[in-house]
Amino acid sequence: MADLAVHLYGSPVGILTGADWRTFDFKTTPETFERFDLMSTILSEAIPLRLLPDRKTTARRRNFFAELLPEGQARELLAARARVEQSDVIGLLRRYGRDVAGALEIFDPDDANEPARPELRRLDGVGVRRLMEREVDAPLGNDPKLGRISLGGMQEKVTLTRADGAWHQPLGGYPSTHIIKPRSDAYPTMVFDEEYGSRLARQVGLLDYKVWIEDFAGLPALVVERYDRRPAGGPPQRIHQEDFNQALGASGNQKYQEHGGVVTLKRIAALLARATADGQAQLLRLVTFAVAIGNLDLHAKNLSLLHPDDSPARLAPAYDQVPLLHHPTDGRLALKVNGVYAARQVTAADLVAEGETWGVNDAEAEVESVLDRVAEALATQSPLPGAYPNLNLELEAHLDRLSHRQPRR
């Protein structure tokens, strides 16, 4: 089968060659260096742009592209729609690689079924609800024929485009702008809890995109503005990103530290020290906030690095900030802090010690500043109806324990 073209910021950055998931590879072409510098890491910190592929990093190149695909049921459904195996990374990207996380577009230039041009299909509230309830027919909101969307993660969601004050289903690779997460019968408070966590993060200064609850023909859903998109005169512009599974060569559930130990906060911080100016301090702020609200799911795919085409790399804003301590889980963090996994056992001193091991200047001041801002936010904000009962009281009690518990000896 034909090679897949890989474009970044609208320019050729290379090709994916080979049909088998075990043997495919990414290669640059002469066109790559008409725009991008030799050894540039704008595509990925794990994949500097070389004239010839380095055999020692073949697995990392394959992993980077495999991690653009979803996990779980969404992947199963996408594969069934494309009539390929779930393990067929090339087959899945051939069908769904036009709109992925970041600024990549992946497609078969010789495919006669490739849409001639991207476009939008306007939806009313009933249409959006229908998409959310038709996951089997429209995984991630993909149209059966013209859908070209892939997005990582396990949670049920659809991706839509907001244009001219209305919702649209993106077709043929038109950039999506929002992620819509419907209320779940299994976890009915989750979207409301995430809205509150995101609102707190916004007040603390850790995110600047919009997050809200919207009713779609009687079905409440969380609407998340994509931080890897920016408005433009025509179609939204993509901003490139990679998550830390991609950057560190981790796969699937290795996003959790206990699954193989590939990802750790220290490794993430070390990469940020090389790639960014203030990334380590910002990471400490994000980790402190996540611990403060009991977000157990701050794993390596919920931490990302932005690669703008007009400025240096930087840590992406806080994402997927959900208070989770009230859920029936084991209460363990995705990434341990100063050797501690149990979220209720982490102290402010642990957060400081973790930051100090990375080399953060005045880690204590960074941690105290975030904890003070969280306390202020809790005093001035309230969860929406539908959130977990007494969520604010539980968060205040948890923050008090975190701030005042004595360090472990």
pLDDT in tens, 290-323: 999 999 999 999 999 999 999 999 999 999 999 9
Residues in contact with 225: Cβ distance below 8 Å, sequence separation at least 6, in sequence order: 177, 178, 209, 210, 211
CA angle 338–343–346, rounded 5-degree value: 45
Helix axes 279-293, 265-275, angle to 10 degrees: 150
- What does each C-alpha distance from 207 to 289, 316, 320 come to in angstroms? 12, 9, 11
With residues binned 3-state (H G I as helix, E B as strand, rest as coil), the percentages for the chain, rounded to 5, are 35, 20, 45
Q: What is the pLDDT of residue 1?
A: 58
Residue 307, SS3 per DSSP: strand
Q: What is the pLDDT of residue 114?
A: 84
Task: Classify residue 48 by burial, with Cβ atoms within 10 Å: 0-12, 13-18, 19+.
Answer: middle
* Between 20 and 139, the higher pLDDT residue: 139
pLDDT at 240 over 50: yes
Least confident span in 10-14, 20-24, 103-107, 337-341? 20-24
pTM attached to this predicted model? 0.95
Active site residues: 297
pLDDT mean across residues, the chain: 94
Q: What is the mean pLDDT of residues 374-378?
A: 97
Element (H, E) at 92: helix 89-96
